[in-house]
Structure 1
């Protein structure tokens, strides 16, 4: 069974079909995708991402959570523990964490709250020696968040032709 996690302000639930319309809107928002994709993802690409995320829980026993606000249930983004088998050098040898919030909710501590909850879940359930993440060097807010979460850079490389910084957090 895929876990639902509640924090003071947020509900994290495994990505599900009902998240599709919200995911389409988020992936089309330039303020969201500018550090992740070269252009907005269309509805078909959003559907494939949703299917990937649903299947990830089935295969790996962990994956992406949709983040919604407590009370009104507004969709604000996602956070997840991932094993995407990315072609990156050096290769990831630990679960990856990723997060992304709608620009309307950035800078309010919600990404930290969601990612900290996902890390706490990983510490209890994955028993991994470390977590990794990959962030564009231009994405200073995510780099700062990663630092607040205890991640430290260990490599600079490229992913799909773009520069990225690989970070790690020990002790999960």
Structure 2
């Protein structure tokens, strides 16, 4: 009788292990998919930037340093490895693009150029998609990290090598409230 109870208990524990393991696999794959969605949007932004820079060059050629910074920031995003490095490079690129659009305000002909306006719209749409993808990624990572840290999933996670994932974070400098002066 005791042997039968032990066998049934072992079967139940085995099934529980398999169910938890499969759930952790699903969650890890969701995290990887969420990261891939960020990369898709970063690639879209990466592809739009050369056209934007070329359009601005035609009107604001003497803004060479700014255009070079945008190009360097673009390259940094594509060569970044991992969540933290990509987040930092992506945030720097966003900042250089804001500077580029601010400079464009000084060129009325550029602001009226249909190609520039369409590129600006496409880039802003992409920035919104990146922001959404970052939020979705962080939500997915949070759920995954909670799963691998709570009982009983933490036992299966530690036995199976599931590790904590990094969140996509905003640098401290961008968290501060901007000063607005009139």
TM-score range, shorter chain: 0.3 to 0.5
For normalisation by structure 2, the TM-score amounts to: 0.32
Higher Cα radius of gyration: 2
| Greater fraction of residues in helix | 2
| Greater fraction of residues in strand | 1
Higher relative contact order (CA closer than 8 Å, sequence separation 6+): 2
For normalisation by structure 1, the TM-score amounts to: 0.34
